[in-house]
Every structure is written in structure tokens, then in C-alpha cells.
Amino acid sequence: MTTERLLGDTPASPMDVPTLPESLPSDAELPPDGGGPGTGEAVPRSQWQLFRRRFFKHRVAVAGGVIVTLLFVVCFGAKYFAFFPKNHQDLLLGPVSPNKAHWFGTDQLGRDTLTEMLYAGQISLKIGIAVALLSTLVGTITGAVAGYFGGWVEQLLMRLTDLFLVVPAIAILAIALRKFGQTDDIIILVLAGLGWMYVARVVRGQVLSVKEKEFVEAADAAGASSTRIIARHILPNCIGPILVNATLGIAAAIVTESTLSFLGFGVQPPATSWGNMLSAAEGNYNQNTHLLYFPGIAILLTVLCVNFLGDGLRDAFDPQAKH
């Protein structure tokens, strides 16, 4: 810069005037000392820091996650929280409305409804989690293999997926459960066998996009095996949609199991689920509405909170999300 310009004789060019950024990027933060050593530069957040930041800004999802966690704690810790033993009957008491001794009332056999709901929640939540895990595992493997290898492998796996998609699920479930039994393990296997297709289609689409990236081509050029490329390079970049679909699969499995139990094809006594409790209360809802309301509210609350949690995970994993 010349002496005349310093003295103000010649106006400085706009290109010579240093400018400050209007604001820091939304995904960067300054450390307590104002930046790097003597530079004042912003320190970018890691991917997991960004995930946590986006997720905790989604207040409904956070509330849903807290409620779902509480449901898991009180249901699977029922022996510590329940007021009465499981299946404790008082035939002389019969069905009564909610009161101080029985917060949710009692059923026809004099059993405490709250206690039975906690133990029934173990079966419903167990089925939801197990079905989501199994269907996500099968769907992820199927979609990843189809998307990565393409060709006849993709055509075969996707046509198989389409075949399962058009199967009338409730009818097949009812027939299978009648033939193989109506235990919770059989219900889990049958529901997972008819629920993996949606995950497979989502994962295939993600793999088709990620496998064209430069880091995948570099791993292939370096001699990495197909299994290593899929497991170490592709699937970690698809974890967002996979987790979201797994979360939503929990809600879908709980609703499906409740539907089957209400129709008489689900869990059979002495085991109890929320849907089974609804089915047992079917003939008494005019006189004892609490037997219908409380299990129904438990199903509704769980499904809503799991869906809210899934929405929050989807927004947190979406790099384009704006909050």
C-alpha cells in the first residue's frame, strides 16, 4: 500500500479493504480462547456433535425418547414397580373402576390392571424391538448386496422383495401363526419375515448413491474385498436411514402384534400383551371402559413416541436439515 494512500490522498480500492465475515458458519463454533492459537479461526464440529445438536433441538423427539425410555424401564422392571404380583387374582373383588388401591382398576378376575399392563408391556416391547432388529438386519444385507453388485443379483433380490411386498400380510400372518404356534418367538420370526422389504429398498437406494463416491472407488482400487467395502465404507454412510427405519419398525411391529392379538391370532394366555388385553376387554367395554382405555392408551403413547423419535433421528442425520 503506497504512502499517498496511507495519507488519504488516494482513495483505497475496495479490493484493498479487508472485510470480516458477517457470521460464522452454523456448523462451526469458537473455542473459549476465540479460535486456534493466534488465528481466531472457527473450529468445525464433528459429525456426531452435529447429530447431537440437531437431535436435541427437536424437542418433540427428545420428549418421545424420554417417554419410550421410561416405558422400557417400568415395564422390564415391573417386579420393582408393580403393586401386586403378576397374575394375582381376587375373584371376590371382580372388575372395579380405578381407585386408590388399584390406580387403573381391576379386570374380571380381580387382577390389578396396572400390574398386568406392565408385564404385558414386556411382551409388546420385546416383539417390537426384536422384529425391528431382525427385519433391519435382513433388509440391510439384502439392499446392500443388491445395490452394490447390481446386474442379475440386483434383479433377483429386488423381484423377491417385490413379491413379498404384494403378499397380504395379515392373512399370511394368521395362517402361519395357526400352523406354527402363537408364541412370542414365532410371532417375532413371522413379523420379521414380512417386514424386511421396506428397509431393503431404502438401503439399496442409498448404496446406489454412495458406491459412486471417490472413497469407494479408491478402496476398490486399493484391492479391498467387496465385503470390506460394503461393511467399512458404504454402510456407515447409510446409517442414518437405517436407524430411522429401524425405529419406525418398532412402532409398526407393536401395532401389527396388537392387531393380531385383538383378532385372536397373537399372544395366547398365560402370556399377555397390550393387544391381548384389548381382546380380553372386548365384551366388557360397556360396563368396564377402563379395561379398554388403558391398554389402548399404552399402545397409542408408545407408537406416537417411537414415531416422534424416528422423526428426530431423520432430521438429525439429514445434513440439509434446517432448524
Q: Tell me the per-residue pLDDT of 216-269, one tens digit each, with 9 for 90 and over.
A: 888 888 888 888 888 888 888 888 888 888 888 888 888 888 888 777 777 777
C-alpha cell at 30: 469458537
Structural domains present in the chain: 48-81+104-317 (1.10.3720.10)
Q: What is the pLDDT of residue 17?
A: 43
Average pLDDT over residues 178-198: 84
- pLDDT band (50, 70, 90) for residue 12: very low
Residue with cell 393387544: 275
pTM: 0.76
Alpha-carbon distance of 305 to 121, in angstroms, equals 15
What SS3 class is residue 143?
helix
Which residues neighbour 139 within 8 Å (Cβ) at sequence distance 6 or greater? 196, 197, 198, 199, 200, 202, 203, 245
Q: What is the pLDDT of residue 46?
A: 67
Segment 300-304 long-range contacts (CB within 8 Å, at least 24 positions apart): 301/67, 301/71, 302/68, 302/71, 302/124, 302/125, 302/128, 302/251, 302/254, 303/251, 303/254, 303/255, 304/64
C-alpha cell at 206: 442409498
Q: What is the pLDDT of residue 45?
A: 66
Count of residues for the chain?
323
Alpha-carbon distance of 238 to 206, in angstroms, equals 6
Res 26 pLDDT > 80: no
Percent of the chain predicted with pLDDT > 90: 11
